[in-house]
Amino acid sequence: MTDSPSLVQPIVLLVDKNDPAGHSDSILAVAIASVCAYTNGLEHGADDGSWKTWLSGRFTKSVRRADAKTFAKIAGDPELPADGAAWIGAARAMAYAPTTYEDMPKKLSRLQVSGTDLPAYDPTPQSRQRPGDPVIVLNNALGMSTGKAAAQAAHALFAWHLNRGNPDPDIASLHLLSAGLINASESEFEQLKALAAGPVIVDSGLTEIEPNTATAFVIERP
């Protein structure tokens, strides 16, 4: 795998201080929006080569927070349409195609990466669950911030999707939108590894946690 650290996928997460969404819902929203940006791009033939280049590297993602007013402005900007979006409970996220840090739109690059810790509410129950739906398993013992955990969850969901190789974008979208999340203890994380339906994500340790730490993977609903 070729290292391509200059390309990054920007993801905007709503962080409303007055009425914050839950930690788990926000993680799911980021992960789903991230992969949907890719599937939507393929479906509409919008890949200019950036996705291929990005996927050959580290899948670098930058989760950035926006308050309610800023989030609404970006969402309504016709010159900055999101490639993928997700709304889980009160959590909202928008994801874009990979870009260089230099070429990232200023409205996105000005958003802060820090300050994404959100309350540990229970995740919103998924109303539609089908066999084969992905369930992201996060190593909750690491104490990751919402933004860090969301990026790791997105890595795992992306790796699962690519590993699955589903050529039908409609079926892929149904599974993605019904994704679930388990905030696993250290022992649960190790036990569920045997059921992993895709690669186990190992973090490089640039922020928050030690290098070579296993953070997330996906299992599938039976």
Contact 120, 25 (CB under 8 A): no
Phi, psi of 60 (to 5 degrees): -60, 130
Quick one: pLDDT at residue 124? 61
Quick one: pLDDT at residue 127? 56
Quick one: pLDDT at residue 178? 86
Look up the CATH number of domain 134-220.
Answer: 3.40.1490.10
Of the listed ranges 61-65, 162-166, 186-190, the one predicted with least confidence: 162-166
Percent of the chain having pLDDT more than 70? 88
**Token pair belonging to 166:** 């589903």
Rounded alpha-carbon distances, angstroms, from residue 139 to 88, 178, 193, 222 = 21, 21, 11, 21
The class of domain 7-107 in CATH terms is: alpha beta
pLDDT, tens digit, for every residue of 122-164? Answer: 666 665 678 889 999 999 999 999 999 999 999 999 999 998 8
Q: At what angle do helices 146-164 and 169-177 cross, to 10 degrees?
A: 150
Q: What is the pTM of this model?
A: 0.91
Under the banding of pLDDT at 50, 70 and 90, the label for residue 6 is confident
Under the banding of pLDDT at 50, 70 and 90, the label for residue 177 is confident
Tell me what the mean pLDDT of segment 4-13 comes to: 85
Domain ranges of the chain: 7-107, 134-220
Quick one: pLDDT at residue 3? 47
Distance from C-alpha of 201 to C-alpha of 131, rounded to nearest angstrom? 23
Common-topology check for domains 7-107 and 134-220: yes
Distance from C-alpha of 207 to C-alpha of 144, rounded to nearest angstrom? 10
Quick one: pLDDT at residue 217? 98
pLDDT, tens digit, for every residue of 15-45? Answer: 999 999 999 999 999 999 999 999 887 766 6
Asked whether residue 116 carries a pLDDT value surpassing 50, the answer given is: yes
Quick one: pLDDT at residue 202? 96
Phi, psi of 110 (to 5 degrees): -80, -15
